Amino acid sequence: MSAIPLIFTSGWASGINSYAVVLLLGLYGRFGHVAQVPPLLEKPGVLAAAAVGFGCQFLAGKIPYLDSVWDLVHTAIRPVMAGAVATLMAHHAHSSPAVTVAAALLGGGTALASHGVKTGVRMGINVSPEPVSTIVASLAEDLGVTGIMAFAVVHPLPAAIIAACLLAAGVALVILLASRIRRARRRRRDRRHAARAEPAQPGRPAPQPGQRPS
């Protein structure tokens, strides 16, 4: 099916920002008359809802720790949206029911994989106390999704290859960041244990066994 490369790329991009994918596809279909875009995505209500979701993610993605909470909330939402978009594309291409189901699994599974990469990278970035890296990462995600989806509409197969390479690179980056996340969690646990311990009183010796403390 000729829509498979676009389905794969939209699945990858949906794992990062599913609202942007729906919004961009709808706008390209409505104003660019892209044949692969299902008519449902071009409806004003769908575009408005996607624009609101995109605005919320744009803001949440720039705030450390809030971005990770947002990602955790969207663990189920992004793959489901990607699977729905893939189903619409396959149905729009007059595919068989079996191919439509395979397309939904491809879109949803790719979104789940890229969502896991995004969540892991953001957790590693949030180990740093400064907010600049979070803002830079969020902007890179926004620009990356927008650029890849714009390229995918015109050149679906090369865009799918680029998306696959980015997904593989993201998995490797998460593996590298995993040790950093574990060290940060260990430091936080040690600080909590130290805070719970009774502070020492300098200048006052500890009472000897059998001696009443003063």
Q: What is the mean pLDDT of residues 134-144?
A: 93
Cβ neighbours of residue 29 under 8 Å, at least 6 residues apart? Answer: 37, 38, 39, 41, 42
Q: Which of 143, 127, 132 is nearest to 178 (CA)?
A: 127
* 29-44 confidence digits (pLDDT tens): 999 988 889 999 999 9
* CA–CA distance, 32 with 13 (Å, rounded to integer): 20
Q: Give the pLDDT score at 43.
A: 96
3-class state of residue 22 by DSSP: helix
Q: Mean pLDDT for the chain?
A: 88
Q: Rounded distance, CA 88 to CA 98, Å?
A: 14
Confidence at residue 207, expressed as pLDDT on a 0 to 100 scale: 54
Specify the residue for token string 């890179």.
140
State the helix-helix crossing angle for 97-125 and 66-73, rounded to 10 degrees: 160
Domain boundaries, the chain: 4-187
- pTM assigned to the model: 0.82
Is residue 26 within 8 A of residue 46, CB to CB? The reply is yes
Categorize the per-residue pLDDT at 198 as very low, low, confident or very high, splitting at 50, 70 and 90: low
Of 159, 141, 158, 157, whose CA–CA distance to 149 is shortest?
Answer: 159
Average pLDDT, integer, range 200-207: 54
- Cα 113 to Cα 41: distance, rounded to the nearest angstrom: 24
Q: What percent of the chain has pLDDT over 90?
A: 67
pLDDT of residue 212: 53
Give the per-residue SS3 of 165-181: HHHHHHHHHHHHHHHHH
pLDDT for 77:
96
Distance CA 47, CA 42 (A): 7
Closest C-alpha among 119, 142, 139, 141 to residue 131: 139
pLDDT tens for 113-133 read 999 999 988 888 887 767 898
Q: Which of 2-6, 134-138, 168-172, 184-188 has the lowest mean pLDDT?
A: 184-188
162 pLDDT above the threshold of 80:
yes
Is 70 exceeded by the pLDDT of residue 169? yes
pLDDT digits (tens, 9 = 90+) for 16-73: 999 999 999 999 999 998 888 999 999 999 999 999 999 999 999 999 989 999 999 9
- Burial class for 49, CB neighbours closer than 10 Å (0-12, 13-18, 19+): middle
pLDDT at residue 210 is higher than 60: no
**Which tokens in the block code for residue 148?**
């890849």
